[in-house]
Amino acid sequence: MRRSEASAASVGARIRARRSAVFDVGTRGAGRPLGFIPTGWFPSSVRLTPDGRSLLVLCARGLVPRSNVNPDGTWSGIAGLYRGSLGVIGLPRGTDYARALAGWTRTAQGCRPAPAAPALPGDPVPARAGDPTPIRYVVYIIKENRTYDQVLGDLPQGNGDPALCLFPEMVTPNIHALARQFVLLDNFYANAEVSASGHEWSMAGYASEFVEKTWPVNYGHGDRGSHVPYAAEAHFTAALPSLGYLWDRAAAAGVSYRSYGEFTENPERPGGAVWTNLPALRGHIDTAFRGWDIAYQDRRRADEFISELHKFEAAGDMPRLQIMRLPQDHTAGSRAGSWTPEAMVADNDLALGRVVEALSQSRFWRETVVFSVEDDAQDGPDHVDAHRTEALVAGGFVRRGAVDSTPYTTCSMLRTIELILGMGPMSQFDAAAEPMRACFQAAPDTGPYRALPARVGIDGRNPAKGARAARSARFDFSREDLADEQEFNRAIWAAVRGEGSRMPAPVHAAFVRQLPGSDDD
């Protein structure tokens, strides 16, 4: 593949929409599609000029995604990367319009993701949902707000920038070991920008227009405070996706499922039970597994999951889809008395390692695959793109010691889960996403994973006084993203690198690495 073709495939795989559809609405509501017109990113309003000769298309995301690292060594908030765009498209008359629409349609269709690689005989990821697969169980882990460079930028075999790596192998030994032992994904992108849309995309392959249009307003006002409604995770009916969430598709396909902390609410009183306001999740959650709460360590969450795993082993089976939330890599910045950023990320790393270790030592390991991804890469620095994030795959049928630079997204992970479990897609985005077939192998390797102990103190606390503590005291962590995200990430950078330290200028920026022997045109 040529570099330009690879870049186009990467962009096409990641965007939500870069075209507007044209319909003949008919006379009695019986509309039919006529074609597509190329536009910018996320067309949110379309109008005709008064004379009917031009089409005005307002796009909320502008034209292209990019790295959030600036040439002067600073970095931008991810929401600030989208300046929007206004397209003015002249509309020819008569037969000229039909020819123009045909040309526009070809251009728009050419920007779609490249066709997925076909499934080969014995491929653990089947060609169609419901086809045979040796994998029976999926564990899907959602973490919080890290870019690839922040965690894996120090791995020499990947496309990383070590100068931007805040939590290297000393802090995250298990993430690094899993990436080495199984598959390193250095071209994986979150579909979302922030947690308000991130958990929607992670669970539905889509965020409703209500969520996409409200989060920039909320996130654009600095220290918003807990009175600002959090639009996602089933708090508003308008936020619910029309085809439901992952558990809805599982229920429709007769697939057993269980949620550990995702779309759940913590008890208001000590000793109470975790609960959910989603009917489809009632009876399908672990009421002892705490959801969002950065004052609660992830290794305690791992303890609870492993305890249930042992019960499932004794019973002889476990839910085929298990969704788990491990949020501590979000950190609390420099807030006085809270665990330090390194301690919280190390705790998260240890919890992840222990979960994979327990699964790999269980009777279910041969038939299990573990997926781990950040819900978004919010505002952390990355030299390739502000959406590029840390993602991992582990299991008996997962390749060993591999590097996969295929341009994947959150929706790619969802599509892979759906194909393995025989579930239908939730949106056009996961339906069209590239399955992660290159991560798998036909012959199983059931060797267990051994969790590595923490190499830094996981109980270290932030100092009670100082400039950083004073700034972080204003942050509200009662829900995701109530703290000003850019100021919060500056506090994390200063806490790790020292007050007054500056980010180095980026070395390079590109969507994908050039493949050996490929052309550069």
> For position 228, what pLDDT does the model report?
56
Residue 259 CB contacts under 8 Å (≥ 6 apart), including other chains: 247, 276, 281, 284, 285, 286, 322, 323, 324
- Model-level pTM? 0.86
pLDDT of residue 512: 39
CA-CA-CA-CA dihedral for 350, 353, 357, 359, to nearest 10? 110
User: What is the pLDDT, as a whole number, of residue 22?
Assistant: 77
d(CA 124, CA 289): 31
* Planar angle of CA 356, 289, 392, nearest 5 degrees: 30
Eight-class DSSP state of 42: S
Indicate the SS3 state at residue 133. coil
Q: What pLDDT score was predicted for residue 514? A: 37
| 353 alpha carbon, distance to own chain's centre | 20
Answer yes or no: is pLDDT of 399 > 80. yes
Region(s) of the chain under CATH 3.40.720.10: 137-439
Q: Sorting pLDDT into bands at 50, 70 and 90, what band is 370?
A: very high
pLDDT in tens, 187-199: 999 998 888 889 9
8 Å CB contact between 458 and 292: no
Pairing of strands 85-90, 54-59: antiparallel
Q: Which two tokens stand for residue 255?
A: 């697939």
Among 144-148, 358-362, 474-478, the range scoring the smallest mean pLDDT is 474-478
| Top-confidence residue, 147 or 378 | 147
Question: Domain 137-439 adopts which CATH fold?
Answer: Alkaline Phosphatase, subunit A (3.40.720)
Does 389 score more than 70 pLDDT? yes
At 519 the pLDDT is 41
Q: Are 232 and 199 in contact (CB under 8 A)?
A: yes
At 197, which helix (H) or strand (E)?
helix 195-204
Q: How many whole angstroms separate alpha carbon 54 and alpha carbon 87?
A: 10
Higher pLDDT among residues 380 and 371, named by residue = 371
pLDDT > 70 in the chain, percent: 84
CA dist 451 and 348 (Å) reads 12
Spell 447-482 as b/e; 16+ CB within 10 A means b. eebebbebebebeeebeeeeebbebbeebebeebbb
Quote the radius of gyration of the chain (alpha carbons, Å): 23
